[in-house]
């Protein structure tokens, strides 16, 4: 059992358990050990080390064999995690086969093990992200179709605008998630690259065997062989961090919209209810948007982490001092935050509780004013745009001043009555008849989603 103090109270709330496992001490150490085992196999295949020692090295490349507490202490003196791990690996192998110990980590440098190990972790992280994004996009597509014709107030600058539909709003969330899925797929060839350069990137220690070893090592790990080592060229990692920031931002948008619609004053859309969820320690009536809070929290924290990755880009010469170190916890934290937001979204979206009646009621809060544009457009076809706009604007001001419904004011206005019949006014002031292309936008978003999955 670890003697290090634990700090896990918020893990289950803000992060996803599978992603935490990927970036746990076990995951980090195993990534480096997978690199060391693959290096041994590649060097044996290239004739650099004896084939007979490979099994001995592979057998020792299991994370559970090592004392993480001791490694943590040793990192403080070594300056990175690979140095004490390679020493521990060599010591373990030497205990049973001193000859095999001579060939551990041959020609590699600490950063090769750490960066390549990180890339292996990132590959596992991408698998998790893809799975969750795929599931979320399917859920959003289903909900968008289900509510494609459910009218609600559109809101601009936090004020009622013209009517939209809930399905159209959800389709907007869907489009963003589908674009992130595409971006994630496109980034893999650039991101999932071997790091192998030795002391300064030239692999001089391996002589004329360097190139065959590099190719074999990339094949062993199923990673791309880059144009050259990227010890201080960090654009690959920063691009991925930026994508994580984008995903967090889009999930934050979903969470923000949901939390605003869940406000008491709106009461149109709610997180799925569950015993004990969203309660207050003092107010029994509270139903707080605790899931949306995770999405908004991740979107708030992610930009600072992405900024750290950008700040760490101008690394010195062939090996960085401090800037590389700044990445070590930053990128894993980003992955874990996004995974937590996705886990919450996967709970929220399929269980959304929709109050269509309240949406209809809220559309009437302005007493017809949200449909003033519809009346103005209809009048413009008969008396011209400027005249129509001015006329409807005056009617709106009168309605507000008198506390009257816009329909009554329009009815009483001779200029309006001369152009629009009572039936026409009824239709123009019905939100269901002023939804524009909302249904088509939903259909298009869902169609694009489906085409991306075939």
At residue 284, the pLDDT reads 52
Dist. CA 409–CA 375, nearest whole Å: 12
Q: How confident is the model at residue 452 (pLDDT cuts 50, 70, 90)?
A: confident
Residue 401 CB: number of other CB atoms within 10 A?
A: 9
User: What per-residue confidence (pLDDT) applies to 277?
Assistant: 59
Task: Write out the DSSP string of 276-289.
Answer: TTT--SS-TT----
Q: 166 near 258, Cβ under 8 Å?
A: no
For residues 391-399, average pLDDT: 96
pLDDT grade, residue 9 (50/70/90)?
confident
Domain 366-420, CATH among 3.40.50.300, 3.40.50.2000, 1.10.40.30, 1.10.3720.10: 1.10.40.30
If phi > 0 it is left, if psi is from -120 to 50 it is alpha, else beta; for residue 222 that is left
Q: Residue 96 in contact with residue 42, Cβ under 8 Å? A: no
Q: For strand 159-165 and strand 151-156, is the pairing parallel, antiparallel, or unpaired?
A: antiparallel
User: What are the tens digits of pLDDT across the range 256-308?
Assistant: 999 999 999 999 999 998 665 555 455 455 578 899 999 999 999 999 999 99
Residue 120 near residue 221 (C-beta atoms within 8 A): yes
Per-residue confidence band for 4, with pLDDT thresholds at 50, 70 and 90 = low
| Residue tagged 């002391």 (tokens) | 199
CA-atom Rg of the chain in angstroms: 30
- pLDDT tens column, 403-433: 999 999 999 999 999 999 999 999 999 999 9
Q: What is the mean pLDDT of the chain?
A: 94
Class (C level, CATH) for 10-108+203-224: mainly alpha
Cα distance between residue 61 and residue 195, in whole Å: 19
Are 136 and 342 in contact by the 8 Å Cβ rule? The answer is: yes
- pLDDT tens digit sequence for 86-115: 999 999 999 999 999 999 999 999 999 999
- Position 273 scores a pLDDT of 80
Instruction: Read off the pLDDT of residues 343-359 as tens digits, 9 standing for 90 and up.
Output: 999 999 999 999 999 99
Predicted TM-score (pTM) of the model is 0.94
| The dihedral formed by the CA atoms of 154, 155, 160 and 165, expressed in degrees to the nearest 10 | 10
* Cα–Cα distance, 47 to 65 (Å, whole number): 28
Backbone angles phi, psi at 24, to 5 degrees: -75, 170
Q: Show the tokens assigned to 199.
A: 């002391």
Q: Is 224 helix (H, G, I), strand (E, B) or coil?
A: strand
pLDDT for residue 454: 72
pLDDT tens for each residue of 303-324: 999 999 999 999 999 999 999 9
Q: What is the DSSP string of 352-387?
A: -EE-HHHHHHHHTTTTTGGGHHHHHHHHHHHH-HHH
User: Which architecture does CATH list for 116-193+230-363+439-453?
Assistant: Up-down Bundle (1.20)
**Residues ≥6 apart with Cβ < 8 Å to 132:** 16, 339, 342, 343, 346
Neighbouring C-beta atoms of residue 248, cutoff 10 Å: 27
Question: How large is the average pLDDT for residues 59-67?
Answer: 97
Average pLDDT of 143-169?
97
pLDDT the model gives residue 1 = 37
pLDDT at 3: 57
How many whole angstroms separate alpha carbon 191 and alpha carbon 410?
A: 62
| CATH 1.20.200.10-classified regions of the chain | 116-193+230-363+439-453
List every span in the chain annotated with CATH 1.10.275.10: 10-108+203-224
Residues with active-site annotation? 280, 319
The three-class DSSP label of residue 3 is coil
For residue 382, pLDDT over 60 is answered with: yes
């Amino acid at each position: 059992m670890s003697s290090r103090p634990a700090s896990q109270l918020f893990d289950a709330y803000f992060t996803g358990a599978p992603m935490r496992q990927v970036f746990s001490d076990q995951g980090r150490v195993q990534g480096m050990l997978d690199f060391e085992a693959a290096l041994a196999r590649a060097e044996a295949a290239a004739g650099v080390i004896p084939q007979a020692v490979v099994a001995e090295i592979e057998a020792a490349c299991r994370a559970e064999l090592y004392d993480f507490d001791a490694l943590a202490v040793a990192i403080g003196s070594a300056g990175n995690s690979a140095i004490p791990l390679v020493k521990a690996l060599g010591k373990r192998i030497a205990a049973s086969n001193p000859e095999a110990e001579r060939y551990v980590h041959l020609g590699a440098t600490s950063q090769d093990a750490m960066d390549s190990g990180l890339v292996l972790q990132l590959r596992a992280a991408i698998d998790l992200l893809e799975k969750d994004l795929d599931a979320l996009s399917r859920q959003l597509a289903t909900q968008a179709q289900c509510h494609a014709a459910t009218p609600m107030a559109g809101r601009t600058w936090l004020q009622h605008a013209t009517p939209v539909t809930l399905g159209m709003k959800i389709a907007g969330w869907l489009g963003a998630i589908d674009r992130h899925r595409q971006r994630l797929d496109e980034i893999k060839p650039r991101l999932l690259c071997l790091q192998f350069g030795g002391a300064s990137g030239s692999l001089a220690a391996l002589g004329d065997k360097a190139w065959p070893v590099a190719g074999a090592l990339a094949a062993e790990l199923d990673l791309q062989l880059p144009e050259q080592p990227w010890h201080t060229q960090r654009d690959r990692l920063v691009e991925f961090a930026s994508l994580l920031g984008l995903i967090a931002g889009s999930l934050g948008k979903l969470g923000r919209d949901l939390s605003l619609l869940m406000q008491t004053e709106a009461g149109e859309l709610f997180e799925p209810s569950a015993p004990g969820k969203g309660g207050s320690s003092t107010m029994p009536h509270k139903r707080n948007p605790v899931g949306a809070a995770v999405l908004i929290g991740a979107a708030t924290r992610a930009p600072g982490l992405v900024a750290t990755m950008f700040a760490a880009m101008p690394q010195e010469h062939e090996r960085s001092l401090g800037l590389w170190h700044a990445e070590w916890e930053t990128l894993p934290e980003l992955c874990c935050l996004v995974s937590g937001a996705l886990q919450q979204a996967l709970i929220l979206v399929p269980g959304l509780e929709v109050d269509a009646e309240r949406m209809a009621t809220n559309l009437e809060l302005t007493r017809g004013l949200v449909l003033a544009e519809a009346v103005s457009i209809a009048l413009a076809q008969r008396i011209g745009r400027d005249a129509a706009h001015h006329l409807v604007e005056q009617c709106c001001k009168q309605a507000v001043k008198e506390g009257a419904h816009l329909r009554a004011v329009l009815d009483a206005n001779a200029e309006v009555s001369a152009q629009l019949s009572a039936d026409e006014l009824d239709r123009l002031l019905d939100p269901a008849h002023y939804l524009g292309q909302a249904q088509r936008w939903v259909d298009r978003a869902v169609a694009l989603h489906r085409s991306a999955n075939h």
